[in-house]
C-alpha cells in the first residue's frame, strides 16, 4: 500500500531537479498536493503553481551552483542529459557530471537527503538470469558510464558525511503519459500507428518497468526516511513475459497487435526488486502497469480528440524538456 506523504517531515522543503521533465513533473505535483513546499529546478522555470517555487538552472550555460542560498531538507534529482538530446558522448558525460554535482551541492548545504535517479544502463549487458545490487557495474554506453560516475559521487558524499542519507535508484522503464526513450513507450507508439512490433526473446521473463506514480511515491517516501546509502532497482512485481508485456500494452490501448518474434543473441535478465520493496516501494504487477500505461494513453487520446475532433489519431507520447 502506498505510504502517505507527511508534509511535516519536510519543514525546509524539497527541491526537485529536472522538474520540467516527465518524472520530475509528476513528483513536483505529488509533493505539492501533499502540502510539501517544493522548489522546482529546470533549465527553464516551470509555470508557477500553488506550493511550488520555480527556479531556472542550465548546467550548459550557468557556471555557478544552482539557486544560491537555497537550503532545503531533501533533493530528488531527476535531471539528466539523454543520448537522444546530446549526441556527443564527451558533452553528455560532462553535463551529467554537472547535474549531479549541482544536486549534491543543494542537498549538502544543510546535510539533507538526496534521491538520485540512476539507470539500469549502469549494468551494461549482464550475464545470467538476474540483475541485483550485487551485479557488477559494466556500462557499455556513455550514458551508463555517466550514471555510474554519478553514483560514485553520491556514494562519496554519503561516506564523507555531507548527506544525512541518499538513495540511488537504478530505474527500469518508467511509464505513464509522456513516457519516452524506453521499450514500452516505443512499443506503444508503434501500436498506436498500426505498425508491427518485433518482440525479442518473447518467452523470457520481464519486469523492467515501473509506473511513474508508483515511482514518484517511492521517491517522496525515501526523501523523508533514507539513512546512509541505499541502492535499489524499483521494478514491478510479479513479472510477466516479454510477449505478454506487449500484449498488455495493446490491450490497454484497445488495439490489435501485429507481432513478429525473434530470438536475441543475449538474454533478458529479471530485475531483483526485493531491495526496493524492502525500502517501501509499492509497485503493481508488470502486466497491470503495462495495461494501465496503454489505457492511460488511450484515455489521453480520447480527451484530445474530444477537444479537437479534427485532430485524428496521433501518438500521445511526449519528449522530455
Q: How confident is the model at residue 314 (pLDDT cuts 50, 70, 90)?
A: very low
What is the reported pLDDT for 103? 97
pLDDT of residue 310: 54
In angstroms, the Cα distances linking 159 to 41, 65, 93, 109, 164 are 26, 22, 23, 16, 10
Query: Would residue 200 count as lying in a domain?
Result: no
Give backbone dihedrals phi and psi of 264, rounded to 5 degrees, phi first.
Answer: -85, 155
**Proportion of the chain in helix, strand, coil states, percent, rounded to 5:** 40, 20, 45
- Which residues are CB-contacts of 265 (< 8 A; sequence separation ≥ 6)? none
Residue 87 has pLDDT above 80, yes or no: yes
In-domain check, residue 294 = no
Does 146 reside within a domain? Answer: yes
Q: Tell me, yes or no, whether 3 lies in a domain.
A: no
- Classify residue 188: in a domain, yes or no: no
Cβ distance 219 to 169 under 8 Å? yes
Q: Which of 308, 318, 223, 271 is nearest to 22 (CA)?
A: 318
Answer for the pair 90, 51: CB distance below 8 angstroms, yes or no: no
Does 132 fall in a domain?
yes
97 domain-assigned:
yes
In 3D, which of 3, 264, 234, 20 has the Cα closest to residue 133? 234
> Which secondary-structure segment (H or E) carries 165?
strand 165-171
pLDDT at 171: 97
Place of cell 513475459: 241
| Residue 279: pLDDT over 90 | yes
* Residue 318 pLDDT > 50: no
Element spanning 119, H or E: strand 113-119
| Mean local confidence (pLDDT), 211-219 | 97
How far, in whole angstroms, is CA 285 from its chain's centroid?
Answer: 17
Q: Domain total for the chain?
A: 1
- pLDDT per residue as tens digits for the range 21-57: 999 999 999 999 999 999 999 998 888 789 999 999 9
What is the residue range of 128's domain?
Answer: 9-177+210-238+270-284
Residues in the chain: 321
Q: What is the pLDDT of residues 146-179, one digit of tens each?
A: 999 999 999 999 999 999 999 999 999 999 999 9
**Mean pLDDT computed over every residue of the chain:** 91
Q: Is residue 2 included in any domain, yes or no?
A: no
CATH number, position 71 = 3.40.50.720
Helix (H, G, I), strand (E, B), or coil: what is residue 213? helix
Residue 2 confidence class, pLDDT cut points 50, 70, 90: low
Give pLDDT, residue 7.
81
Share of the chain above pLDDT 70, in %: 93
Name the grid cell of 284.
503493481
CB 192 within 8 A of CB 255: yes
Task: Return the biggest CA–CA distance within the chain.
Answer: 59
pLDDT of residue 23: 96
Amino acid at each position: 500500500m502506498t505510504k502517505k506523504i507527511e508534509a511535516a517531515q519536510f519543514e525546509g522543503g524539497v527541491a526537485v531537479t529536472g522538474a520540467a521533465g516527465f518524472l520530475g513533473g509528476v513528483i513536483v505535483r505529488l509533493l505539492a498536493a501533499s502540502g510539501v513546499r517544493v522548489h522546482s529546478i529546470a533549465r527553464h522555470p516551470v509555470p508557477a503553481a500553488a506550493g511550488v517555487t520555480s527556479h531556472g538552472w542550465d548546467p550548459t550555460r550557468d557556471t555557478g551552483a544552482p539557486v544560491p542560498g537555497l537550503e532545503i531538507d531533501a533533493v530528488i534529482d531527476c535531471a539528466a542529459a539523454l543520448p537522444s538530446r546530446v549526441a556527443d558522448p564527451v558533452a553528455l558525460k560532462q553535463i551529467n557530471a554537472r547535474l549531479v554535482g549541482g544536486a549534491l551541492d543543494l542537498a549538502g548545504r544543510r546535510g539533507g537527503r538526496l534521491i538520485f535517479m540512476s539507470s539500469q544502463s549502469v549494468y551494461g549487458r549482464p550475464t545470467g538470469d538476474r540483475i541485483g545490487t550485487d551485479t557488477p557495474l559494466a556500462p557499455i554506453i556513455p550514458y551508463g558510464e555517466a550514471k555510474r560516475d554519478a553514483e560514485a559521487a553520491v556514494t562519496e558524499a554519503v561516506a564523507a558525511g555531507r548527506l544525512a542519507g541518499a538513495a540511488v535508484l537504478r530505474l527500469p522503464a518508467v511509464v505513464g503519459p509522456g513516457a519516452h526513450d524506453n521499450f514500452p513507450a516505443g512499443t506503444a507508439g508503434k501500436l498506436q500507428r498500426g505498425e508491427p512490433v518485433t518482440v525479442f526473446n518473447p518467452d523470457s521473463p520481464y519486469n523492467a518497468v515501473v509506473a511513474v506514480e508508483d515511482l514518484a511515491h517511492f521517491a517522496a517516501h525515501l526523501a523523508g526516511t533514507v539513512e546512509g546509502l541505499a541502492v535499489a532497482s524499483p521494478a514491478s512485481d510479479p513479472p510477466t513475459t516479454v510477449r505478454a508485456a506487449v500484449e498488455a500494452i495493446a490491450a490497454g490501448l484497445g488495439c490489435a497487435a501485429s507481432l513478429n518474434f525473434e530470438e536475441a543473441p543475449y538474454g533478458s535478465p529479471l530485475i531483483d526488486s526485493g531491495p526496493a520493496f524492502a525500502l517501501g516501494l509499492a509497485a503493481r504487477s508488470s502486466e497491470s502497469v503495462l495495461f494501465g500505461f496503454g489505457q492511460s494513453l488511450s484515455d489521453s487520446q480520447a480527451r484530445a480528440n474530444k477537444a479537437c475532433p479534427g485532430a485524428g489519431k496521433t501518438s500521445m507520447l511526449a519528449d522530455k524538456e
